[in-house]
Amino acid sequence: MKDIFKLDGKIAVVTGGAGGIGEALALGLGYHGATVVVSSRNQQAIDAVAARIKKETGSEALGVASDVTDEASLQNLVDTVKARYGRIDILVNAMGMNIKRDAFEYPLEDWDKLFDVNVKGTMAACKVVGRVMRDQQGGAIVNLSSVRGIRGYTGGNTGYCATKGAVELITKALALEWAPHRIRVNALGPALVITPGTRHIAENPELAAKYAAAVPMGRIGMPEDMVGAVIYLCSDASSFVTGQTIYVDGGLTAA
Q: Identify which range of 19-27, 82-90, 103-111, 233-241 contacts ligand NAP by CB under 6 A.
A: 19-27
Q: State how far Cα 76 lies from the chain centre.
A: 20
Q: Which x/- pattern, by CB under 6 A, does the window 81-100 give for ligand NAP?
A: -------------xxxx---
Size of the site for ligand NAP (CB under 6 A): 29
Counting contacts by CB under 6 A, is residue 144 touching ligand NAP?
A: yes
The CB-of-94 to ligand NAP minimum distance in angstroms stands at 5
Task: Please state, in angstroms and rounded to a whole number, the distance separating the CA atoms of residues 200 and 193.
Answer: 12
Between 43 and 239, whose beta carbon lies closer to ligand NAP?
A: 43
| Number of Cβ atoms within 10 Å of the Cβ of 233 | 25
CA distance linking residue 142 with residue 241, whole number of Å:
12
DSSP letters, 227-240, are HHHHHHHHSGGGTT
By the rule CB under 6 A, 45 interacts with ligand NAP: yes
208 contacts ligand NAP (rule: CB under 6 A) = no
Q: Which listed residue (31, 153, 160, 247) is catalytic?
A: 160
Q: Identify the residue among 19, 30, 33, 63 touching ligand NAP (CB under 6 A).
A: 19
Tell me the residue type at 52: R
From the CB of 191, what's the least distance to ligand NAP, in Å? 7
Residue 22 within binding range of ligand NAP, rule CB under 6 A: yes
By C-alpha distance, which of 91, 220, 93, 184 is closest to 144?
93
Residues 97-126 contacting ligand NAP, CB under 6 A: 97, 117, 121
Shortest reach from residue 208's CB to ligand NAP, in Å: 13
Nearest distance in Å: CB 196, ligand NAP: 6
Q: Using a CB cutoff of 8 Å and minimum separation of 24, what contacts does 47-53 make?
A: 48/18, 49/17, 49/18, 49/22, 49/23, 52/23, 52/27, 53/26, 53/27
Query: In the sheet where 245-248 sits, what is the strand order?
Result: 61-63, 35-39, 11-15, 90-93, 139-144, 183-190, 245-248
Residues 6+ apart with CB under 8 A from 230: 25, 28, 29, 92, 142, 188
Q: Would residue 153 show up in a list of annotated catalytic residues for this protein?
A: no
Instruction: Assess 183 for contact with ligand NAP (CB under 6 A).
Output: no
What is the contact surface with ligand NAP in residues (CB under 6 A)?
15-16, 18-22, 40-42, 45, 67-69, 94-97, 117, 121, 144, 146, 190, 192-193, 195-198
**Catalytic positions, please?**
160
